[in-house]
Structure 1
Amino acid sequence: MFGLFTSGPKLSPQDAVTRARAGEITLIDVRNHAEVRMTGKAKGALVVPLSVMPIQCDPKGPDFIADIDPTKPIALYCASGARSAQGARVLKRMGFEQVYNIGGLTHWHRAGGEIER
């Protein structure tokens, strides 16, 4: 089932947790703000809903989120992995090279990642 949601190179949720703690990746939650309010988000994650990714993740655009380093790997997650796979494709089309879909918030949490509210 999760083969449907894969997009490019692999990064396990465990590796994402380790690399996020070390400051080696940018973690992005692509769910909408209402979902994040209900469940919390991965500690340190930026919230960039899939619907606004083309605007807020474009380094050339006026609404670019300055906390996104285009030279740093990016790990995306959502609720199940489907939207984060779509988000990975969006970022790849925008020229980001190291983009990973780590699945859903539960994958992050089961791998030892902290949740913040």
Structure 2
Amino acid sequence: MPLTVKDMMEAANAVVARIEVDQAKALIEGGALLLDVRDMVELQQSGRATGAHHIPRGMLEFRADETLKSHDPELRKDRAIILYCAAGGRAGLAGKLLKDMGYDEVYNLGGLADWVNGGGETTPA
């Protein structure tokens, strides 16, 4: 039976913990990477969480694979990664992908609005 988005989201939510902004800030202070997986157009429209690194969801596999020249050195398997997108769906799916690729400590912060509503600062585009 083919997978549906609902199936994929349930699988992602089962393995990627959802965290609050205060938890994210504490992890970031300890060296975690805050990763924005939205598309570039979204960043241009609404900016990003201050200090966030950006890798679009569609490129994540290529940036996360250490065997490729396109690997992003900010992605390390010994570093916690906190993902966010617009509402949390892509962040969850991206988190599951990273888990499948061997990244152990991966969290879903939700959306940029969650960051802002939790007192997180943003940087304009």
Q: Same fold (TM over 0.5)?
A: yes
CA drift at 1:111: 1.3
Superposition pairs of residues 33-72 of structure 1, within 5 angstroms: 33-72=40-79
CA distance in 1, matches of 2:98, 2:57: 10
Conserved in 2, the CA contact under 8 Å of 1:26 and 1:69? Answer: no
**Equivalent residues of 1:17, 1:111 under 8 A apart:** no
| CA root-mean-square deviation | 1.7
Q: TM-score, normalised by structure 1?
A: 0.88
Alignment deviations for residues 24-82 of structure 1 (CA, whole Å, 9 cap, x no partner): 21010010011011100011111111100000111221111112232011000000000
| 1:19 lines up with 2:27 in the alignment | yes
Q: Determine if contact 2:85/2:110 at 8 Å carries over to the other structure.
A: yes
TM-score (norm 2): 0.83
Structure 2: how far apart are the matches of 1:26 and 1:60?
20
* Pairing of 1:37-116 with structure 2 (within 5 A): 37-116=44-123
Structure 2, gaps ≥5 residues long: 1-8
Q: Identity percentage over the alignment?
A: 30
> Is the contact between residue 60 and residue 94 of structure 2 (CA under 8 Å) also seen in structure 1?
yes
Structure 1's consecutive aligned runs of 4 or more residues displaced over 3 angstroms after TM superposition are: none
AA aligned opposite 1:44 = G
The separation in 2 between residues aligned to 1:79 and 1:9, in whole angstroms, is 17
1:32 corresponds in structure 2 to: 39
Matched-pair contact (CA < 8 Å) for 1:88–1:100: yes
